[in-house]
Structure 1
Amino acid sequence: MDPLSLLVLLIMGTLAGAINAAVGSGSLLTLPVLLALGIPPGTAVRTNTIGILFSTIGSVTGYRREIAAEGRALVPLIVTTAVLAATGSVLLLLSPSDALDVVVPVLIVLALLLVVLQKPITRAIAARRAGRVSAEHFGSPYRSPALLAAMGGASVYGGYFTAAQGILYLGVLGAITGRPMGEVNHVKNLASLVVNAAAATVYLVAHVVLGVEIVWIATAAIAVGALLGGYFGAHLAKKLPEGVLRGIIVLVAIVALVRQVL
């Protein structure tokens, strides 16, 4: 891989780390670039997942006090997301490469729609929550069976694809707990870390045991940028209007998709 491509991945990884800490969907900056560089979809997803893991490490470190305050209430959520994310990553490994050539671009388009329509989707989920049993009945909103089921489903998607999983988590957490985005963002970041770590573990084992391909130099470029962006860039990302962040994500993903098709 040439130096210019690595530089682009480093820059996109940094932006992705900052955006993941703030709103999620940073993988839509890095994954399409990997695809545009000619990396096969399955390999690109695995390469991206391991690299972007470091953005969640950085962002979780930045929210460590808020996460510690929740204590053991988050344990069921952590276990659920880890197990179902591993299931999703196994599904990716079992998917035929020909199918991934079609599935991954379709999932990128779906993720883009989630980015663009996040607010209407979140409002719709919140409206359906009215009249249901409050999650506080279970002692903590994060122990609610409804929340665990919804986050589990989102984690299968996260383990399979990773892109825009943070937006799904924010929507689920905000709608079911009834808390504003700023008050559940630390849980979203923790869930993203757990899901990415579970998927990365599956891919690493598959790489060692089965020889599954991972482009390590690209992973390293994304990882360095993602770690810096996740830790230092979150504050800047939170100051930028959400419209600007979404615009950057949509533009980069569309350009990379067009390059892949052509």
Structure 2
Amino acid sequence: MSGPEAVLVLATGLGAGVLSSTVGVASLLSFPVLVALGLPPVVANVSNTLGLIPGGLGGVVGYRREVREAGRIALVIVAVCALGGLIGAALLLGLPPGVFEAIVPFLILFTCLLVGVQPRIARWLRARHEQMHGEQLAERRHMSPATTLFATLTGVYGGYFGAGAGVMMVAVLGIGTDLELRVVNGLKTLSLMVGNIVAGLVFVVVADPRWEVAALLAAGSLVGGYVGARIGRKLPDAVFRWAVVAAGVVAAVLLF
């Protein structure tokens, strides 16, 4: 790897770390760069996953207050995303390349729609509950079985490919709980970190990453993840919501 290429990968890691802790689309920056540098897609995906682990760690440190505030939900997220990441990594290594390429852009666009209309969905659910039961719906500070299932499926997708997984987790937690968006953002960052760690451990054993690429990405993403968390904590809910939607739409367009 030449000097300019090394600088490019380092800068890409920094940018990817910021994106991971804010709108959750880090791989849409880092993965295409690695492929453009000549890495085969699977090698690029494996190296990218390993290189973004420190970015997740930096982001979780930046969101540590929000993660603590989530309480037991944070523990559930760790468990389901660890399981999902393991399954997703196995699918990546066991299935032919491109199995899900046709549906991924539509899946991301659908989750963008859910993120955008989440406040209306929440109001509709509360109104429907009050109409049926004659009482207000209690604040949802835990994950229902349905929310847990969809969080696990998001973890599987994150371990398999990952592009847009953060957008999907924001949609799942935003609709399935009544947590503030800053807490949801912290949990989204936690979920991406856990998924990358588990998938990365699998890849280290059975795949062939480019370690120099992963190391440069890691150095940049560690700083970027923390910086992104500091930015994400200060974003107003509306700005954050529509930034996630915009990032998801861009992701879908690029994948098309």
Instruction: Give the TM bin, normalised by the shorter chain.
Output: 0.7 to 0.9
Higher deviation after alignment, 73-82 or 127-136:
127-136
Which of residues 213, 230, 249 in structure 2 aligns to 1:218? 213
Q: What does 1:1-262 correspond to in 2, within 5 Å?
A: 1-96=1-96, 100=97, 102-103=98-99, 109=105, 113=109, 119-120=115-116, 122=118, 131=128, 141-206=141-206, 212-236=207-231, 246=246, 250=250, 254=254
**Residue matched to 1:209:** none
| In 2: Cα distance, 1:81 partner to 1:220 partner | 24
SS of 1:179's equivalent?
A: coil
For residues 35 and 29 of structure 1, what CA distance do their matches in structure 2 show? 11
Question: 2:123 & 2:212 partners in 1: Cα distance?
Answer: 45
Rounded Cα–Cα distance in structure 2 between residues aligned with 1:150 and 1:204: 27
Greater CA drift, 127-136 or 147-156: 127-136
Larger helix proportion of the pair = 1
Distance 2:173 2:180 in 1: 9
Offset from partner CA, 1:13-51 (integer Å, 9 cap, x none): 111111211121111100011122221111111111110
**The 10-residue stretch of structure 1 (48-57 or 123-132) with the greater mean CA deviation from structure 2:** 123-132
Structure 1 residues 230 and 203: alpha-carbon distance in aligned structure 2, compared to 1, 3 A threshold: same
Q: Work out whether residues 118 and 167 of structure 1, in 8 Å CA contact, stay in contact via their aligned partners in 2.
A: no
RMSD: 3.4
Distance 1:129 1:3 in 2: 55
Identity of aligned residues (%): 32
- Alpha-carbon distance in structure 2 between the residues aligned to 1:115 and 1:229: 25
How many residue pairs were aligned? 244
Contact between 2:67 and 2:183, CA under 8 Å: does it hold in 1? no
SS of 1:44 mapped into structure 2 = helix
Match of 2:162, SS state, is coil
Q: TM-score, normalised by structure 1?
A: 0.77
**1:181 shift after superposition:** 2.1
Take 2:32 and 2:223, find their aligned partners in 1: how far apart are those partners? Answer: 20
Change in 2 beyond 3 A, CA 1:179/1:68: closer
Stretches of structure 1 lacking an aligned partner (at least 5 in a row):
207-211
Instruction: Provide closer, same or farther for how the CA distance between residues 143 and 117 of structure 1 changes in structure 2, counting only shifts above 3 A.
Output: closer
Q: Where does structure 2 lack aligned partners over 5 or more consecutive residues?
A: none
